[in-house]
């Protein structure tokens, strides 16, 4: 135990001598998280969170245009503009402004669109009435050669996903208008057949089954969505924790070069206790680092206009995950410091390898949007295991059993790296 305590004290003294390095060890990750969260805030917002100005030209002045306008406004996603300087917008004006990039989209409702829908509904009702033997016929327009269509104009720079969302929304509005008008015509026809019961005629209800969303998380339910803060704070915290390999590897190589490592091995007792002390000290540093960065997400980023970090409901599980990531990062640093002979070799390999592991492990961009082949490779990265475990707790309100597989992989990987480091060190001594 005394050797463990002495090793922890020795590592603290070494770290404290380099005050600038110690400050950078804690300060740089905080700056990194703040900058990355601010930069990636806009790309992480999906179209549901961003309000777009949308031009509408109403040449119909009927029910279809009203449905489209009200439907777009009700969702809160679009700000509908149908006039400029108090004058109704013309189709040519709308096309020009979209082409110049001032607006993303323009929608033109053609003249006679609602009448065309009514005529089509009447035709369907007449067909049904004829089959039922009903005499009354609703008016139907003569077929025109040119079919009417709602005209869309998109900014050439608009994303494909945005266009698809607009198409889907407008298609829903058209279907809703056509269905409502068809039901109205059917009710009208049935009432005319049984006029004595007109007052008690029941309304036709088309939607019999509703759609309901229920969260699958256990425990206390909180509304958590993935955003720039929820991704960047845990992700870059893990990235910064793994950069502990730089001071660890540097210290180990310096100890080997100045002979202090030999003197420590000559002290009576098991050398494993020295490694244990080194592991405990740097895991403690990593854990402190992690929670400092979590505090940034909880208190600093909301002051900068970003969402507040949600940390789930099981804080003990979160602490275990942070400590396990610290074990893996420290073991990686010990392995690097054992294998390489010079500081230049160790620091260059350590820094570049962490950047690569973080890139493929979903730290920079979420793993889910990578190509499938890269996802398979990325899931081998310890940083990916740590990020998955943190997301299970913070985003899915998971408990300790959710993260046991990731904890096992992190601790197993850390143990394997320490074993390899011990074998390499033993061969070097032999």
C-alpha to C-alpha distance for 415 and 142, rounded to whole angstroms: 81
Tell me, what's the pLDDT at 374? 79
Per-residue model confidence (pLDDT) at position 42: 62
Q: What backbone torsions phi and psi does residue 164 show, to the nearest 5 degrees?
A: -65, -40
Tokens encoding 30: 């905080």
Query: Rounded to two decimals, what is the model's pTM?
Result: 0.64
- Both structure tokens of 346: 């160790």
Beta strand pairing call for 87-88 and 105-109: unpaired
pLDDT value at position 324?
A: 93
**Phi, psi for residue 105 in degrees, rounded to 5:** -155, 150
The pair of structure tokens assigned to 128 is 């049904």
Distance CA 251, CA 244 (A): 11
273 and 8 Cβ atoms separated by less than 8 Å: no
pLDDT of residue 222: 47
Give the model's pLDDT for residue 202. Answer: 56
Token readout for 396 is 């899915």
- Over the chain (430 residues), what is each successive 10-residue block's mean pLDDT? 74 73 71 72 59 84 82 77 85 85 84 83 80 71 68 78 78 81 77 58 57 53 63 86 86 79 69 78 89 89 84 87 92 88 81 85 76 82 89 81 90 91 76
Q: Are 165 and 112 contacting, i.e. CB atoms less than 8 angstroms apart?
A: no
């Amino acid at each position: 135990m005394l050797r463990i305590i002495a090793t922890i004290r020795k590592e603290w003294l070494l770290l404290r001598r380099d005050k600038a390095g110690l400050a950078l060890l804690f300060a740089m990750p905080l700056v990194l998280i703040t900058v990355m969260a601010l930069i990636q805030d806009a790309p992480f917002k999906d179209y549901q969170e961003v309000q777009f100005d949308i031009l509408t030209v109403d040449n119909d002045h009927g029910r279809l245009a009203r449905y489209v306008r009200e439907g777009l406004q009700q969702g809160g996603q679009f700000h509908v503009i149908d006039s400029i300087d108090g004058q109704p917008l013309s189709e040519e004006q709308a096309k020009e402004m979209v082409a110049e990039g001032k607006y993303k989209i323009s929608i033109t409702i053609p003249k006679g669109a609602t009448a065309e829908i009514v005529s089509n509904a009447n035709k369907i009702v007449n067909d049904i009435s004829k089959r039922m033997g009903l005499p009354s016929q609703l008016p139907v327009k003569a077929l025109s050669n040119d079919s009417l269509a709602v005209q869309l104009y998109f900014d050439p720079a608009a994303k494909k996903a945005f266009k698809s969302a607009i198409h889907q929304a407008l298609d829903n509005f058209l279907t809703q208008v056509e269905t409502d008008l068809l039901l109205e015509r059917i009710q009208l026809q049935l009432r005319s057949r049984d006029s004595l019961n007109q007052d008690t005629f029941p309304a036709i209800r088309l939607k019999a089954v509703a759609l309901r969303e229920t969260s699958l998380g256990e425990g206390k339910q909180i509304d958590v969505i993935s955003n720039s803060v929820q991704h960047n704070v845990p992700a870059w915290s893990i990235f910064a924790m793994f950069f502990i390999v730089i001071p660890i590897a540097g210290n180990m190589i310096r100890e080997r070069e100045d002979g202090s490592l030999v003197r420590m091995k000559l002290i009576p007792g098991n050398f494993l206790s020295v490694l244990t002390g080194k592991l405990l000290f740097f895991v403690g540093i990593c854990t402190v680092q992690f929670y400092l960065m979590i505090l940034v997400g909880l208190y600093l980023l909301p002051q900068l206009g970003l969402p507040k970090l949600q940390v789930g409901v099981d804080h003990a599980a979160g602490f275990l995950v942070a400590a396990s990531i610290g074990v893996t990062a420290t073991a990686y640093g010990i392995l690097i410091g054992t294998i390489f002979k010079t500081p230049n070799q160790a620091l260059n390999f350590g820094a570049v390898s962490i950047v690569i592991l973080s890139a493929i492990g979903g730290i920079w961009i979420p793993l889910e949007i990578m190509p499938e082949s890269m996802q398979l490779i990325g899931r081998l990265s310890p940083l990916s295991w740590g990020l998955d475990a943190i997301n299970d707790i913070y985003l899915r309100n998971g408990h300790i059993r959710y993260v046991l597989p990731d904890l096992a992989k992190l601790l197993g990987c850390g143990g394997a790296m320490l074993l390899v480091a011990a074998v390499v060190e033993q061969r070097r001594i032999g």
